[in-house]
Each structure stands twice: as structure tokens, then as C-alpha cells.
Amino acid sequence: MTPETENGLSEVHCCGCGRFLALSAIAVGTIQIKCPRCKEWTTISSWPVDSPEEAAYNSNRKAE
């Protein structure tokens, strides 16, 4: 879990060296940030979780 600031933004640190890279306010989607120090890519993803009703509906649609 990433630490949050007072305004709800999450700090993003490099997965390789731990350097601070950005503040994240991503709602839905995926972004990648390349660390200028170690050149490692850090990926941040945020996707909504289906409610039980939506999950059942989607699984029925995939079966058809």
C-alpha cells in the first residue's frame, strides 16, 4: 500500500531503488513511470471491482 498525503494523493516510489517519482490521483487506468536514476519502470493500475451482481452478469456473458 502506498502512503497518502493530506489531500488524498498517493506517493509513487520506484520499484527498483525507492526514489520518489510522483503523486498519483489515478481513478481508473494504468500508467507507467520510468525512474531517471535506475531506469526501472514502475506500473500503477487502478480498476474498479465488480459488485457481486455485475460479476455474475459478466461471467454469464462470457459463457455465451
Per-residue pLDDT tens for 9-56? 889 999 999 999 999 887 788 889 999 999 999 998 887 776 676 677
Integer CA distances (angstroms), 11 to 3, 28, 37, in order: 6, 17, 17
The per-residue pLDDT for 41 is: 95
Residue 47 identity (one-letter amino acid): W
Q: Do residues 29 and 46 lie in contact, with contact meaning Cβ atoms separated by under 8 Å? A: yes
Q: Residue 18, by phi and psi: left (phi above 0), alpha (psi -120 to 50) or beta?
A: left
Residue 2 is predicted with a pLDDT of 53
Q: Does the model's pTM come out above 0.75? A: no
